[in-house]
Amino acid sequence: MSCDLILALDVPTREQAAPILRQLRGNLRWVKIGLQMFTAYGPDYVKAIADDGFNIFLDLKLHDIPNTVAKAIESLAPLPIGMLTLHTGGGREMMVAAKQAQQATKPDLQLLGVTVLTSLDMIGLREVGVTDTPDIQVARLAHLAIDSGLSGLVCSPLEVKALRTNLQVPHSVKLITPGIRPANDPTSDDQKRVMSPAEAAEAGASFIVVGRPILKAKDPAAAARAILAELKV
């Protein structure tokens, strides 16, 4: 199974993003726009990046009552986005309403369910009332998301193999994994459950999401090419 690279465009301003994107054009296909950039610059910025030739993964992690999430998806339908996230913790009714809105307004859009954030470990889960381990909680939410009709999941790379083998999540369901650090990257940050690109691909990830190792590199294009090469090993 092939695995592709998504750049997490987690920078403060579009001016800071512009030279990075110029260097990366032609080196990778997908760019993830999260809350920071979408809140700052809105739909027009999504269109501008798509016009530069990138596929857009809009990472808004929608989580609200079913009708509100469905209406939000209808509002986003005119945008040139290929992937959109929502929190599986919103429950079955919310995810089904989201799927119905997506099918009615943007059939090619992939709805991705966020299971357990990579910033959460066992201690963090207990603090919000979840007594199970992260892998058990991921499995529970993954089942619910797939049963609700979502086409993909966002999870830690450490859960990918279990989802593909133990839970038999088919390859038609995309697994998108943040928490990726190249094998030689010393970065230490707020993500606790991490893995190298090659390890994530071998486990069965469909896409890996990488931010700081590319954004902070002296040569972002070279960093992206190195990660893509690692995925092909």
Catalytic (active-site) positions: 61
- CB-based burial of residue 201 (10 Å sphere; 0-12 exposed, 13-18 middle, 19+ buried)? buried
First-to-last CA distance in the chain? 12
CB contact at 8 A, 40 and 217: no
- CB-based burial of residue 210 (10 Å sphere; 0-12 exposed, 13-18 middle, 19+ buried)? buried
- Whole-angstrom CA distances from 215 to 17, 157, 185, 211 are 9, 20, 13, 6
Q: How far is residue 9's CA from residue 171's CA, in Å, rounded to a whole number?
A: 26
CB contact at 8 A, 219 and 19: no
